[in-house]
């Protein structure tokens, strides 16, 4: 019967001496598929193609199949990756923006990226904190500095890990003449957000004003390391470098 042919030829191939196989041009059998429906054939060199019954596995171990082995199945796909939480996505996004800022080709491009970064800084994890910060800024703009400072104190108390709260309070303190308080707040903001180039630039200006030129130079350089395309800050850094370190020989 036809269905016996594949097994017969497999057995024949298994017992065929190697020397005879080489001499007569025989080789190991293989399975091939042809036709629109993918009909399977057993191909034996020197014999030709023999049609196989459906779902047959004519080749033995070491020849591409195993009659006793279960049919191989494609492993089921694993569960889809869990979506990243908003905080992780925000961190990834702002890291990419910092890289773009560092690699900006000119000051115009850098300003655009810096504005995008500042927009992300301005959002806390709390709607209440964001509302209080907006009210504080509005009070400051309306000429009510005492109210603005009181509101921003609440912001810092409610969200002590939010760097923007300290940066906002530092600006208000500096405007009211509290330079030591402003320096402390800018330093806290830079500690919480180590790439706050604006905080480092402001620290440089405040320290230079207080007479700490060496500290100012260090702060300016930190700002430029994060955001190199600040032409006006480069000029200040060059001037202060001469004053602190002297002219290069």
Coil/strand/helix, residue 233? helix
What number of other Cβ atoms are within 10 A of residue 126's Cβ?
Answer: 14
Asked if the model's pLDDT at residue 57 lies above 50, the reply is: no
Q: Of 34, 51, 68, which residue is a domain's last?
A: 51
Does residue 91 fall inside a structural domain? Answer: no
Does residue 89 fall inside a structural domain? Answer: no
87's tokens: 């905080």
Which carries the bigger pLDDT value, residue 79 or residue 130? 130
Does residue 203 fall inside a structural domain? Answer: yes
What number of other Cβ atoms are within 10 A of residue 82's Cβ?
Answer: 6
Could you give the number of structural domains in the chain?
2
Residues 41 and 148 in one domain: no
Mean pLDDT computed over every residue of the chain:
80
Arithmetic mean of pLDDT, 55-68? 45
Please return the burial class of 190, using the count of CB atoms within 10 Å of its CB with bins 0-12, 13-18 and 19+.
Answer: buried
Helix (H) or strand (E) holding 49: strand 48-51
Does residue 215 fall inside a structural domain? Answer: yes
Residues 130 and 241 in one domain: yes
Quote the pLDDT of residue 85: 80
Q: Of 51, 71, 90, which residue is a domain's last?
A: 51
Which carries the bigger pLDDT value, residue 237 or residue 42? 237
Residues 39 and 147 in one domain: no
Asked if the model's pLDDT at residue 10 lies above 50, the reply is: no
Residues 32 and 136 in one domain: no
Q: Of 51, 67, 88, which residue is a domain's last?
A: 51
pLDDT band at 245 (very low <50, low <70, confident <90, very high): confident
pTM of the model: 0.65
* C-alpha–C-alpha distance, residues 144 and 125, integer Å: 26
Quote the pLDDT of residue 14: 43
Does residue 207 fall inside a structural domain? Answer: yes
Does residue 177 fall inside a structural domain? Answer: yes
Does residue 29 fall inside a structural domain? Answer: yes
Residues spanned by the domain of 157: 125-245
pLDDT digits (tens, 9 = 90+) for 204-221: 999 999 999 999 999 999
Asked if the model's pLDDT at residue 4 lies above 90, the reply is: no
Task: Decide: 165 and 124 in contact? Cβ < 8 Å.
Answer: yes
Which carries the bigger pLDDT value, residue 164 or residue 16? 164
Residues 47 and 140 in one domain: no
pLDDT digits (tens, 9 = 90+) for 64-117: 444 444 455 555 666 666 657 877 888 899 999 999 999 999 999 999 999 999
Does residue 182 fall inside a structural domain? Answer: yes
Asked if the model's pLDDT at residue 3 lies above 50, the reply is: no
Asked if the model's pLDDT at residue 33 lies above 80, the reply is: no
Domain with residue 215: its CATH number is 1.25.40.10
Asked if the model's pLDDT at residue 2 lies above 60, the reply is: no
Alpha helices in the chain (DSSP H): 5-15, 18-24, 86-102, 107-121, 127-141, 145-158, 163-175, 179-192, 197-210, 213-226, 231-245
């Amino acid at each position: 019967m036809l269905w016996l042919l594949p097994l017969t030829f497999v057995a024949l191939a298994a017992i065929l001496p190697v020397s005879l196989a080489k001499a007569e041009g025989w080789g190991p059998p293989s399975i091939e598929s042809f036709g629109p429906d993918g009909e399977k054939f057993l191909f034996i060199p020197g014999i030709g193609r023999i049609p196989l019954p459906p779902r047959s596995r004519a080749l033995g171990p070491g020849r591409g199949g195993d009659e006793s082995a279960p049919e191989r199945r494609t492993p089921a796909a694993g569960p889809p990756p869990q979506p990243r939480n908003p905080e992780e996505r925000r961190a990834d996004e702002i890291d990419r923006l910092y890289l773009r800022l560092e690699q900006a080709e000119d000051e115009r491009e850098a300003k655009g990226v810096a504005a995008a970064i500042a927009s992300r800084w301005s959002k806390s994890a709390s709607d209440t904190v964001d509302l209080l910060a907006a009210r504080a800024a509005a009070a400051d703009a309306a000429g009510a500095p005492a109210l603005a400072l009181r509101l921003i104190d609440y912001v810092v108390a409610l969200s002590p890990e939010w760097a923007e709260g300290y940066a906002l309070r530092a600006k208000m303190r500096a405007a009211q003449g509290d330079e030591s308080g402003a320096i402390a707040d800018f330093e806290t903001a830079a500690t919480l957000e180590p790439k706050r180039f604006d905080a480092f630039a402001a620290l440089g200006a405040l320290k230079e004003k207080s007479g700490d030129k060496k500290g100012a130079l260090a702060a300016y350089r930190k700002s430029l390391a994060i955001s190199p395309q600040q032409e006006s800050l480069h000029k200040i850094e060059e001037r202060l470098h001469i004053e602190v370190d002297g002219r290069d020989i």
